[in-house]
Amino acid sequence: MDGTLTYTLQDLCDSVNYALRQMGWPERSLEEVRSFVGNGVRRLVERSVPCRFVSCDPVATDRCFAIFQKHYLEHCQDNTRLYEGVAEMLQAVRQRGYKTAVVSNKLQAGVDELRERFFDDWIDVAIGQRDGVPLKPAPDMVELALKALGTTREEAVYVGDSEVDVATARNSGLPCVSVLWGFRDRDVLLEAGARVFINHPSELLEILK
């Protein structure tokens, strides 16, 4: 969802910095937050907290995370928007009879809220962070999505914007399409093992053919 379908970086950054301010800690730049996302919001907050507090004061880090969670759930739609061409691509995918799912390390409540706002007519299944399910790049979320869709990995393709997504696809046994409009650049994706790239959502339709 983040970095592939929706631009969510500004809202994530704003909530991180709100929590850091409440704790009396220095704020992070947008580019720093960009580099921290991908492994779930807990890791985002841990990476944003000054290093000395993560190791020596985990209670303070927990408090910072709780502040972030509350603020983000209330403000996750302030600046978030679809990337250009995503709506048209999803509509075309649906018209061609494909099933679709989101697997995200974002909190399930945030996934549900953004799905309701942007994707209710286009996304069949939306899997977010939930208790007892390992985060990406573990394959568990993908396996849940495939089961909910009633399909198999042989009939699926994984689309993502980060090195975490490349690893998730590999761990799930799926071919991966990496998008170049998201949170990571081509060099990072290449280093992670990405081999198929698209520059615009419309290009995905040609690959699916």
- Over the stretch 98-114, which tens digit does the pLDDT of each residue have? 999 999 999 898 899 89
Count, residues in the chain: 209
**51-63: average pLDDT:** 81
């679709």: which residue's tokens?
A: 100
**38-64: average pLDDT:** 87
Strand partners for 7: 81
User: How many domains in the chain?
Assistant: 2
Q: Are 153 and 174 in contact (CB under 8 A)?
A: yes
Indicate if 181 and 159 belong to the same structural domain. yes
**3-8: average pLDDT:** 96
**149-160: average pLDDT:** 97
Rounded to the nearest integer, the mean pLDDT of the chain is: 94
Query: Of 33, 56, 75, at which residue does a domain stop?
Result: 75
By the 10 Å C-beta count (0-12 exposed, 13-18 middle, 19+ buried), 99 is classed as middle
Domain CATH number, residue 182 = 3.40.50.1000
pLDDT of residue 69: 94
pLDDT of residue 107: 87
Indicate if 65 and 142 belong to the same structural domain. no
**90-96: average pLDDT:** 95
% of the chain residues with pLDDT over 70: 99
Indicate if 71 and 87 belong to the same structural domain. no
pLDDT of residue 204: 97
Residue 1 counted as domain residue: no
The angle that helices 140-149 and 163-172 make with each other, rounded to 10 degrees, is 60
Indicate if 54 and 108 belong to the same structural domain. no
Strand partners for 127: 103
Q: Which residues contact 97 (CB under 8 A, 6 or more apart)?
A: none
Query: Of 56, 75, 94, at which residue does a domain stop?
Result: 75
pLDDT of residue 57: 82
Binned at pLDDT 50, 70 and 90, residue 55 comes out as low
pTM score, whole prediction? 0.91
Residue 107 counted as domain residue: yes
pLDDT tens-digit map of 110-144: 899 899 999 978 999 999 999 999 999 999 999 99
Indicate if 107 and 144 belong to the same structural domain. yes
Domain that holds residue 34: 6-75
Q: Are 116 and 102 in contact (CB under 8 A)?
A: no
pLDDT tens-digit map of 21-33: 999 999 999 999 9
Q: 76-90: buried (b, 16+ CB within 10 Å) or exposed (e) per residue?
A: bbeebebbeebeebb
Choice among 45-49, 120-124, 160-164, 190-194 with the minimum mean pLDDT: 120-124
Indicate if 57 and 120 belong to the same structural domain. no
